[in-house]
Amino acid sequence: MQWAFRAMRAAIAVTVASYAHAVALPPDAQQRVGTATFEVVMEKPQQDTLSYERPLQLDLLPFSQRTEQYQSIGTAFAIGEHRYVSAAHVMNAGFQSQFGEPALRDANGRVFKLDKVLAYSSSEDFVVFTLQDDPATGAWPVNRKPTLNEPIFAVGNALGEGIVVRDGLFTSQTPEQLDGKWKWIRFSAAASPGNSGGPLLDQEGRVIGIVLRKSPNENLNYAAPISLVLDAPRDHAHIEGLVTYWLPNFDRKETQRISFDIPMPETYGELAATLTKNMHARYDEMQRDLLTKNAADIFPNGDGSQQLLHTVYTTSLPYLISRNADGTWDAMSSSQTADATLPNNGAVAISGLGGAMLGHVRLPDDVTHAALDNDSHTLMDYLLKAVPLKRPVGADQVRITSLGDAQSQTPFTDSYGRVWQLRVWNIGFEDAVIVGLSMPVPDGYIVLMRGATTASTHDTVLDLRALTDFIYVSLTGNLTQWAEYLANKDRLPPQLANVQIDYKNGKAFTYRSKRLEASVAQPIVKNAKDTILTLETAYFADAGKVVWDVAGLSIAEKNPSGAGFDISRHARPPDTLPDSYRTTWAKMTGRDYPFDATIVDANGTTSIAAIYPYPKPTNATDDASVDVLYEVRYWTGGKHTQQDMDAALVHLLQGVKVIDDHRGSN
């Protein structure tokens, strides 16, 4: 998994490049290329908070890139009356950016800050503004009614490397897609990233439009007619368009048409703040609408959820609950993982799914939750052991070893009461962030992360917080880790608030919860660090409500050939589930094989399983009438007789008490 970063470059140059057959720009227009056309630039962060595996070989970069103070992002031009024009999407780059606000730079390298925004349209994609310390350069003349099939010139800061003029034809007009209120100018002159916001000229050097975007499939590019700019109201900015919101783990989308105005004029910062706040509120609303309108079919609701509500997975690497094409929900993980070792028995595992990264950090034996709960620096350093995040420097790729401290850290509680830490780390050179949510588990932390542009931080946080309700994970650790984990009451899920674990001198282990009690002695429990306890947390129905809770426990020796004991909760499957679920349930209620305490000898291990209580008392409730059953299983290394295994199972079950209401809703 590697995140590729684009290189940043900015240079000042003025080039007039035209084909031999093309009409040349008039001399006065060629002069205005250098005086009335500007780069749009943003100031780069002055400090790099990242650490690298080796020093950056900045001498591999072109001189202008390694010495440049600014990043070039687009083009702007003068249109008279001390007014300047660019594409709205170019100026939007400064909204919530780690770089400075956009500014204009002329051919002599002088930088001019924006003063007031006079007009703005998101749908027509233009912005009109004034400058502080206005250079008062000559403006481009305009032509409101250009002629089809006439020569044109696209002027712009192509690829961020200087103002270039390229020729072509005004080929056609295409209605805008939303309502057809106006028509795009389509032209055949080449356009590159960085051209956006530049003037499109007729053969006499008059502005007929603003270059906005490339055609994705052919060299027929788009410009907004200059008449849209000239006729735009000066008392408000207009935001209009279709916006779509979705979550990556199911196929439903929420699309809304937005249309609102912001009073003008405003400073750039005021416009950015107002527009950003409004759009954030829209996306918040769209997420609520998406989840509300589809609530009947979103996990854990609907028939499509029943299979997972009757399935228990054991996994320390979190899974993402996602919807299959057939409408069923399942806990899923990528088949590809990235792993890394940490000192003193620590480890990191990362997988990717649904545009997010799911990870598990097993803490080194000498590191505790208390030491790491508020240490965002060290936690991300651990994760970067498995995530090959690299920075390109020329042809070189240098691995990033640390992002430093997170720039923000706040607690977040999901719908099931689980407490996460929400953090955002800056990647300054790329104007990007990593957003991560982490939740403590007995042996360390699980994480949910995604990389994003700085401007999309809010939307990424919105997505990841929603996805916490779809995280599936087991809680695993040795008994020493469990003691420390359960003592951290502020970060403990409420489902474990009443869980008690007692361990005394390597002789006995006791587990107590509202559903189950279990007391186990040697030979399974030998010492705290070599005894692994797993609580199989799952989603299931309880008294008519879906809960996230413990659906089983397993205690075993760390030695894979040692002994182990587990207890698993099973609920009566509904008729909507496949026959295999009802067949297994029938075997449980009938106490048939493999739930009849018959030993199984496989792979060097002997195991035995039965339904609680075992042996079944003569006055016990008829299993066929209950809604919840508990399966008990004991295993140990080597070959053992039926008699010995049966005796061991009976002995272990003397310390087990099931409290769960067997007639509760499933």
Let me know whether 143 and 60 are in one domain: yes
Confidence of residue 136 (pLDDT cuts 50, 70, 90): confident
Average pLDDT of the residues in 569-583: 95
Q: What is the CATH number of the domain that holds 362?
A: 3.40.1000
Mean pLDDT (the chain, rounded): 90
Q: Measured between alpha carbons, how far is 166 from 17 in angstroms, rounded to an integer?
A: 6
The total number of structural domains in the chain stands at: 4
Do 70 and 157 have their domain in common? yes
| Structural domain contains residue 1 | no
pLDDT band of residue 661 (cuts 50, 70, 90) is low
pLDDT of 415 higher than 90: yes
pLDDT tier at 11, thresholds 50, 70, 90: very low
pLDDT at 633: 96
Nearest-angstrom CA–CA distance, 354 and 350: 13
User: 18 with 147, same domain?
Assistant: yes
Question: Looking at 186, 209, 230, which one is the last position of a domain?
Answer: 230
Which residues make Cβ contacts (< 8 Å) with residue 584, sequence separation at least 6? none
Q: 189 and 165 in contact (C-beta within 8 Å)? A: no
- Domain boundary pick from 293, 312, 327: 293
* Type of residue numbered 109: G
Per-residue pLDDT for 120 more than 60?
yes
Is residue 5 situated within a structural domain? no
Q: What is the pLDDT of residue 63?
A: 64
The per-residue pLDDT for 354 is: 83
Domain assignment present for residue 175? The answer is yes
Same domain, 466 and 500: no
pLDDT at 6 over 60: no
- 216: containing domain: 14-230
Give the residue-averaged pLDDT of 14-28: 58
From the number of C-beta atoms within 10 Å of its C-beta (0-12, 13-18, 19+), residue 638 rates as exposed
pTM of the model: 0.90
**Cβ(174)–Cβ(184) below 8 Å:** yes
466 and 483 part of one domain: no
222 strand-pairing partners: 186, 213
Helix H or strand E encompassing 583: helix 579-589
Rg of the chain's alpha carbons, rounded to an integer? 32
Q: Is residue 8 part of a domain?
A: no
pLDDT value at 199 more than 70? yes
Q: Would you say 294 and 249 are in contact if contact means Cβ atoms under 8 Å apart? A: no
Nearest alpha carbon to residue 363 among 308, 316, 431, 321: 316
The answer as to whether 4 is a domain residue is no
Task: Name residue, tokens 């006729």.
Answer: 231
211 within a domain of the structure (yes/no): yes
Left, alpha or beta for 344 (phi > 0: left; psi -120 to 50: alpha)? left
In tens, the pLDDT along 544-566 reads 899 999 999 999 988 877 899 99
Residues 84 and 169 in one domain: yes
Confidence band (pLDDT; 50, 70, 90) for 15? very low
Do 226 and 247 have their domain in common?
A: no
The reply to whether 49 and 152 lie within a common domain is yes
Q: What is the pLDDT of residues 216-268, one digit of tens each?
A: 766 788 999 999 999 998 889 999 999 999 999 999 999 999 999 999 999 99
Alpha carbons 365 and 126: distance in angstroms, whole number: 58
* Residues 242 and 256: beta-carbon distance below 8 Å: yes
Q: Write the pLDDT tens digit of every residue in 448-465.
A: 999 999 999 999 999 999
Instruction: Write the DSSP assignment of 421-458 as a string of letters.
Output: EEEEEEEGGGTEEEEEEEEEETTEEEEEEEEEEGGGHH
Would the pLDDT of 522 be above 70? no
Percentage of the residues of the chain whose pLDDT score is greater than 90:
73
Q: Give the residue ranges of DSSP H helices in 294-375.
A: 306-309, 369-372
Same domain, 156 and 284: no
Write down the pLDDT at residue 307: 97
User: Is residue 4 pLDDT above 70, yes or no?
Assistant: no
Q: Give a yes or no: residue 666 inside a domain.
A: no
Residues 152 and 202 in one domain: yes
- Domain assignment of residue 6, yes or no: no
- Which among 472, 507, 523 is the end of a domain? 472
Regarding whether 284 and 323 lie in a shared domain, the answer is no
What's the N-to-C CA distance of the chain in angstroms? 40
CA atoms of 155 and 166, how far apart (whole Å): 7
pLDDT at 427 over 60: yes
Q: Which two tokens stand for residue 635?
A: 């295993």
Residue 113's pLDDT is 96
Query: CATH code at 164?
Result: 2.40.10.120
> Are both 548 and 652 inside the same structural domain?
yes
Q: Side-chain half-sphere of 288: how many Cα atoms within 13 Å? A: 6
| DSSP-assigned letters across all residues of 470-483 | GEE--EEEEHHHHH
Is pLDDT above 90 for 193? no
Q: Which amino acid is at 522?
A: Q
